[in-house]
Amino acid sequence: MNQRGILIIDFGGQYTQLIARRVRECGVYSEILPYTAGIEEIRQAAPVGVILSGGPASVLDADAPTIDPAVFDLGVPVLGICYGMQLMAHLLGGDIRRGDTREYGRTSVTVDDPTGLLKELAHENTCWMSHTWQVVRVPEGFHVAAHTASCPTAAMADESRRLYGVQFHPEVTHTHHGTQLLKAFLLDICHAPAEWSMAAYAEQAVKAIRAQVGEGTVLLGLSGGVDSAVAAALLQRAIGKRLTCVYIDHGFMRAGESDQVEEVFTRTFPVNLVRVDASSRFFHALEGVIEPEEKRHIIGREFVEAFKEASAKLGRLDHFAQGTIYPDVIESGQVKGSAVIKSHHNVGGLPAELGFTSLVEPLRMLFKDEVRRLGLTLGLPETLVNRQPFPGPGLAIRVIGEVTPEKVRIVRESDRILREEVAAAGVKASQYFTVLTNAKSVGVMGDERTYAYAIAIRAVTTDDFMTADVVRMPWEVLDRITARIIGEVNGCNRVLYDVTTKPPASIEWE
């Protein structure tokens, strides 16, 4: 960590990545390390502050995740959140016990000390709680800074050692003034420099790419998604036409997207682009396949084989690049540098024996929203950068049941109509798409009986894609979408609207 930033210690909390994103949104750089990191590794990172994340365990369990107490003697501020606060209290001599009442969801927190960390919170503040255990006696040197009706310590502080804990989650939007609390910790207590920006990152990344690649050449697998497109634009800025991009068109992209990829990387960001139409091999491999996970596996396997065949025709290239982003690194358990070509995205499983000198991953420290901002900073078209989230297998997993060219045509055309109408109406949604159900029904069109597919529309709003609510689409918009799909897309005679939240459903159908 050379950014004078914040180190987040992950204890398995569902919001750990969200903490890191919120810190960066405040203009401060952040990185995540697992709780298994030793104190020397933490010390070598030289953070200006440390945050201990939440987690699902109890600190009193025999095998509970823990950390070297020396972290509290680093001389930098430490903030414990939920489990992180309980662990801090436990390691420093406080008492933890199971609460008589569990607190989950929005909870009213009473602020007892409206200074320091909590200075921006109201006396009664709505916060997001998710805990069973609670701190019943704070360690020596601490004082209780907030409480709830059933939790005696909703926040605690030791101002002399700059150690703080909150039982609630300031990183989620449900906590009122949560961002202000984080800013108080980052800017006023840690005095962290608010220097994190995409323009600065782009300049730094270009230098790093040039230092790694030298005068060599780079091969990048373009998937058609945002991550690989932004990686390509950044690499092109760094090394120009010494970058070769191979785009495997598996036949499952949305309307116009393959042509857009080709346009951008032959004109706006000119590179050596090889576009391979491999749709026939993918459709052939998927014949008779119904199970979603099997579809994903087959598509991943065929992508690798098609990519290997295309790259073998290009001759010797020095380095291999891919659009790995920070969540990939975290979820793979490799939060530090990687020396081998590993499984990520559509190039998952690419064998190291292809002989590349090194792996170039210019986005590996960025979250998805930061990748989008970087893309705009680099000058990529807004229509490409801010396109709807799209799974690697593409429309193949938006066709329920066996995948055929005819079914993909139906879902592609209906999806295009949906996107056009949602954009025209200005409907706010985080993600929206159509699904070709495997259900056929009887209908009447032009006084004739039909027996055709039902199309389902899915539209959700979400902050983090871990949970999602249904978009209350205006009826007149749904009416226009339905009329156009039935009138313009051959093969379907019924349109359905999915009104299921996540959970219990996932956002995608497969």
CA-to-CA dists, residue 97 to 67, 89, 148, 174, angstroms? 20, 11, 16, 26
The answer to whether the beta carbons of residues 74 and 113 sit under 8 Å apart is no
Q: How far apart are CA 49 and CA 187, in angstroms?
A: 10
Total residues belonging to the chain: 510
User: C-alpha angle with apex 473: 467 to 479, nearest 5 degrees?
Assistant: 145
Which entry of 31, 103, 171, 257 is annotated as an active-site residue?
A: 171
Phi/psi for 128 (5° steps) reads -95, 120
Sign of CA dihedral 79, 84, 86, 91: negative
Tokens for 230, please give them.
């932004």
Q: How large is the angle between the packed helices 198-213 and 226-239, nearest 10 degrees?
A: 60
Stretch (H or E) spanning 180: helix 178-183
Which entry of 90, 131, 169, 319 is annotated as an active-site residue?
A: 169
For tokens 């800017």, name the residue. Answer: 187
Tokens for 448, please give them.
């004739």
Q: How far apart are CA 338 and CA 433, in angstroms?
A: 35
Helices (H), ranges, 404-497: 405-425, 475-488
Q: How far apart are CA 248 and CA 276, in angstroms?
A: 5
Q: Catalytic site residue 120?
A: no
Q: How far apart are CA 502 and CA 467, in angstroms?
A: 5
Q: How many CB atoms lie within 10 A of CB 283?
A: 17
The whole-angstrom distance between residue 89's C-alpha and the CA centroid of its chain comes to 31
According to DSSP, residue 138 is labeled P
* Strand 95-111, strand 143-147: pairing: antiparallel
Residue type, 184: A
Q: How far apart are CA 481 and CA 353, in angstroms?
A: 50
Nearest residue to 474 via CA among 429, 433, 430, 510: 429
Q: What are 9's strand-pairing partners? A: 33, 52
Q: Catalytic site residue 171?
A: yes
Which entry of 26, 82, 151, 245 is annotated as an active-site residue?
A: 82
What are the residue numbers of the active site?
82, 169, 171
